[in-house]
Chains A and B, each alone.
Chain A
């Protein structure tokens, strides 16, 4: 069951009283009543009581299997169904999947409205004039245009009722000029998007070989939105980091153990400019084999050598705590191989660490934990059984977990591990021996981006335990809303006077290529927010490690962990705390804002924690908070809950009004993914929940770079160009009809044969536009990645802004005018052939249509600059197909082909004027766009123009090499006081001069 984003085992067990009902026979006699809470959406709580044998037994989440759970370690279970269907907790949690539309599509709708009004306007103008003309047919009792027989007419042309005729004509007009509304546009866009998605799915550069997972566009309708992302909201765990925890260091009794260097440490060291002594490879060769979750190297402890350490008893206790205080389940895979299924990867890392050091946890049941450990005195491995009395579970509120066990020596022990802050609070006076040193170490660890846990224990007094247990059991069975509170309080009672043993440090490994990718995205001008559940220190360090926070950036920290607030919290007046917190947050935001305004020259990073965030989201504050956040280059929200993630996403979306992209891998990111304009799921180890809720699924974070900068940019460009072009071609066509109308006294006679018109959007202009929408590339993928600034074209939406759209429409209007008037003036009137024949209705139609087909296809050729054989085939093929169509259609009997009968073969083709007119009209219609493009590229080039031109220059190769090196080594930027660009250029120069010599 993957609701919390973890694939780990959840320990579920039956109540002790019912656990022996393990056959169908025995269940026959089973009678019991369950009373429980109403259906709700809280996954981690359940309140219920089983009435059985006149006794009450409390039911907890431990006894509940949620819908969709998979059984492990057992073949079957017997159970009672409590809720079904929509009452289940899982279904209660489900939200309706949002329907997402892209900004381009939304704008397209508005363009359609514009066009529709144009259509109505044009039809109205047409019918107005038609009404006037029809009215004139009857002047002073005489019929003027007698050849139309106005005396014997239908209602459509009746000069006695011109208003009705005009109204009916308006409907005719709507049909006739319907070509202004490109109905086929929607179909074409869908086709293009599906094909684009296939390209995304097929991209080898986004294929993860290890996991055998390609990128997957789950919805095809958001492709172009990928090119307009303004802000990325990223989850941390599993997205930026691998979610594979490695036990790297520990501090026991105030001594540091563990020699490995973490990725983050390396990055930090580089930042400080320290020279690194490479030691990792040596270590790697030493270790026999790498163990997942364990990267601890210290010869003082490994292989049982801890026995000879000065504080060996503390070390022993320390690892015993790690080996017993957990909820992991061992799985014996072979004689010497034990795997652990744990609820969290940290926990697994602890147990593995304990095993590697020599405290092998190998079996557990309801009441006991079995360890195989080294006896320091005899030096042989013995099995020890710890009787498990109680497990006080981990929760995010408690931030600790502890177990109460009875060891083989019949000592009652409470073993605890938890966040340093909570553990330190609960230390006894004599237990603080190593506090200072350990604190220091924890500080150091968290600076290095490691997750830390403090480890402590306590010896329990028998009497004390007895009294506590009674109360605890009572609380456990009570059915009331405050049961959890009660239990927490009781747990607090026993978890005190602890003796500190030490601290652990677990590395949260960064995913491959994350810093480089983030750097590239930042250079593309995309803002990145990290929303994480981690604590501030870890979040900041991960921020540094993946170059979200950079050297020279000023940090603004908004927090409630201030002395005055903490003091108030101790007093416990909730309202006062809330008010004080709100005021404090307000003050901090205002201060930060003025700081940002004053020092406009520096970049800022904003770090805020979840608690402060709840106050910052207050109605009165939210605007100034978002304002502040927008001015910061990086925003990190730590300690934020899944719900907060979704709320922040919604806020960013609504405040900026720009496209947001959320990326995450766990079920806790689902809300965020659904809320954002685009949700990208990482199909990592944390199950498929996020992927199911996402719009795009990729295997690793680093593929996001390609997905956005290459595919996003291309798709955005393709779709926006395609839509503009579509409007262009339909306006060109539609308005030639209108101009012709004006010369038929607006009678509604189309300029072309019906079949020409029907085929316009289907055969003669459809394929090139689909080729544009599917294959066009302004710059190659390599250059897209090399010039991340190109991405801003999409963010600023400069390819689909109103001036551009209207420009294309105007171009269409211009083309239609040029086509109509040049054609009519050139070929009608005097003879258009040597043999004295004049051009009639059918010849004019064919000539105009030829010009339209040529013009729109050549405009296409002019506005793209990427020709593979596909483009050539489609564009020139469409034009050729028009002639073929004309010949074929013209050769079928005249009763079917009507005006098209032999029109090309007999009438047009032998006429030089026809060909000459085609040439002239097409060139004249292309001239406006050509000259606009020529001047614009030369004097106001857009980013892609610049890159295209640069690509042509021979010296650019040198420059390219530099750029590539620059992007590969992002840390080089900070390596010295010279800006790295300059430094690299100088290096480059030296190298090239050497080569010359």
Chain B
């Protein structure tokens, strides 16, 4: 009973927390520490992964031979299209491939086509999965447009893809002996088992007036026509490789493989390339440096970001440190912003050593004194930032400096730094005891008057614009000093 009630109340509490939007939550914040850790971690992960990947890619030996141009006789090269269309000319061709590195079996044979849009919408759609599975039992071949029937009889397999079947053939001879090429199991097992029917035989195929690609043996069921199955898996991009077979013998360095091929397939009319590729494989697949390079690049970028972040982080913090560090030997303080710029604050010592900028060129400005005063007296609403934000960040400002003059004990507090909030409080207590704020204001007004005088001392001009801008400058100074937000 008791446990029941407990469970019940626990559920109620959870529901209550849910409706009050106060469920226990994890609230990660990207603190500098985390940022650096994440970036470093990513760098540490990706650079080794990239290197390993690159190594795997380098282990793969790949021989690529482009044969589409060389296999056309010199005489026909001007009009390759009519050459390839002319059935009377034999299309045999021999190519020599030199093995430059030891290739361990199995060696995969690919043919590669470029600029061949197997992913064109019209092409991709022109097939009938049901017919491939059920053969002529399935009558609706409308999806196979425009190669769905011939002489009013359906074509099996129908559609553009099957019709344009690749029909170059390759034979490999090494040192006079034919290399055995295994052309089984080059298609996906699921395709053979479930997409192409075991009792479906080619019918009425390539019987039309226009013959596209290769022909099929009508005695063999589709599930065993692996070339077709491979071809029917349409490629993703216009440049693609397809598996032709496997050589199950190792090839040694300097072996020369003679390839006897029949160059039947027409890629000339659309300017496509044909290549023959022999490649071994690694645990990762074929020869592809891209992934490795990308990994290394991402890792390096992460590391760089981590370093940049770290440097900026430290530098930003140091400016805070400088201003509190300066105090140690202070006997006179002047607030000097850059001429014309009202955003930067530089505090320099009575010794005359300026941290930034050339002191001769520095125009004394009073805006920051007021900024500093406001940090103590302003309300959050009237200032863009919260009150006391400067001191909280550890920036020692004019009022505090004045306070220090009156109460030397404050110095020791400030030297401890403001990381301890108690120190901030002590500083503030002193601050309100003395006339620090008042003096800062007075100093500001004094400097404002200096500025006004400086402006006045400029040569007179009768130009109205000059007079106007001069007045504007003086007004600006006054506003800066008297503002409260």
Contacts and interface: CB of A to CB of B under 8 A. Distances in A.
Contacts of A203: 20
A204 interface: yes
A894 B195 contact: yes
Given A523-B379, A906-B189, A985 B425 contact: yes
Contacts of B210: 149, 151
Contact of B287 (A830, A930, A959): A830
Interface in B26-80: 26-32, 35, 38-39, 42, 46, 49, 53, 60, 62
Interface in B6-33: 19-32
Interface in A672-727: 714
Interface string A487-515: 00000000000000000000000000000
Contact of A749 (B124, B195, B270, B388): B124
A845 B237 CA distance: 11
A312 interface: no
Interface stretch (B93-101, B298-306, B318-326, B400-408): B298-306
Contact of B146 (A153, A204, A893, A955): A153
Residue among B164, B233, B285, B479 having the largest count of chain A Cβ atoms under 10 Å? B285
B125 to A, nearest CB: 8
Interface string A953-990: 00100110000000000000000001101100110110
A934 B32 CA distance: 8
A867 B425 contact: no
B21 A916 contact: no
Interface string A856-895: 0000000001111110000000000000000000000111
Interface in A927-954: 927, 930-931, 933-935, 937-939, 948-949, 951-952
Contacts of A948: 27, 29
A775 B194 CA distance: 46
Contacts of B89: none
Interface residues of A, number: 110
A205 B22 CA distance: 12
Nearest to A157: B122
A788 B376 CA distance: 19
Given A745-B238, A781-B21, A912 B284 contact: yes
Given A923-B46, A930-B38, A868 B117 contact: no
B239 interface: yes
A920 B146 contact: no
A789 B429 CA distance: 26
Contact of A895 (B133, B242, B281, B483): B133
Contact of B428 (A156, A745, A828, A985): A985
Interface residues of B, number: 112
A154 B145 contact: yes
B39 to A, nearest CB: 8
A834 B285 contact: yes
Looking at chain A's contact residues, is the secondary structure mostly helix, strand, loop, or mixed?
Answer: helix
B194 A901 contact: yes
Contacts of A571: none
B188 interface: yes
B42 A923 contact: yes
A144 interface: yes
A937 B29 CA distance: 9
Contacts of B124: 749, 841
A843 interface: yes
A988 B425 contact: yes
A144 to B, nearest CB: 4
A992 B291 contact: no
Interface in A829-851: 829-845
A747 B110 CA distance: 27
B121 interface: yes
Given A749-B124, A830-B285, A901-B195, A907 B23 contact: no
Contacts of A829: 239-241, 286, 288
Given A144-B269, A824-B237, A952-B29, A838 B243 contact: yes
A691 to B, nearest CB: 22
Contact of B285 (A198, A745, A832, A870): A832
Contacts of B233: 840-842
Given A834-B282, A982-B432, A868 B23 contact: yes
A149 B146 contact: yes
A22 to B, nearest CB: 55
A920 B236 contact: no
B102 interface: no
A831 B281 contact: yes
B117 A745 contact: yes
Nearest to A602: B484
A843 B233 CA distance: 10
A145 B238 CA distance: 12
B30 A933 contact: yes
Contact of B281 (A198, A834, A839, A907): A834
B388 A981 contact: yes
Nearest to A842: B233
B471 interface: no
Contacts of A934: 30, 35, 38-39, 305, 309
Contacts of B286: 829-832, 836, 838
B246 interface: yes
B283 to A, nearest CB: 6
Interface string A150-186: 0111101100000000000000000000000000000
Contacts of A870: 23
A745 B121 CA distance: 9
A974 to B, nearest CB: 12
A153 B290 contact: no
B235 A955 contact: no
A859 B313 CA distance: 25
Interface string B270-283: 11000000010111
A355 B30 CA distance: 68
A836 B106 contact: yes
A148 B483 CA distance: 77
Contacts of A285: none
A199 B188 CA distance: 53
A912 B285 CA distance: 9
A601 interface: yes
A601 B117 contact: no
B212 to A, nearest CB: 7
Residue among A525, A824, A831 having the largest count of chain B Cβ atoms under 10 Å? A831
A120 to B, nearest CB: 20
B102 to A, nearest CB: 18
B350 interface: no
Given A153-B146, A831-B279, A743 B484 contact: no
Contacts of B130: 895
A869 B388 CA distance: 38
B483 A601 contact: yes
B29 A828 contact: no
B119 A744 contact: yes
Contacts of A867: 25-28
Given A199-B21, A832-B286, A982-B432, A837 B243 contact: yes
A131 to B, nearest CB: 15
A978 to B, nearest CB: 6
A913 interface: yes
Contact of B120 (A204, A744, A986): A744
Interface string B110-124: 100000111111111
12 contacts: A142-B81, A147-B163, A148-B123, A149-B147, A744-B121, A788-B380, A826-B294, A868-B23, A893-B194, A906-B190, A924-B298, A935-B312
Interface of B: 19-32, 35, 38-39, 42, 46, 49, 53, 60, 62, 81, 106, 108, 110, 116-124, 129-130, 133, 145-147, 160, 163-164, 188-190, 194-195, 210, 212-213, 233-243, 246, 266, 269-271, 279, 281-288, 290-291, 294-295, 298, 301-302, 305, 309, 312-313, 316, 376-377, 379-381, 386-388, 420-422, 424-426, 428-429, 431-432, 479, 482-484
Given A825-B291, A901-B190, 7 more contacts: A204-B20, A523-B379, A838-B110, A839-B236, A844-B236, A906-B188, A934-B35
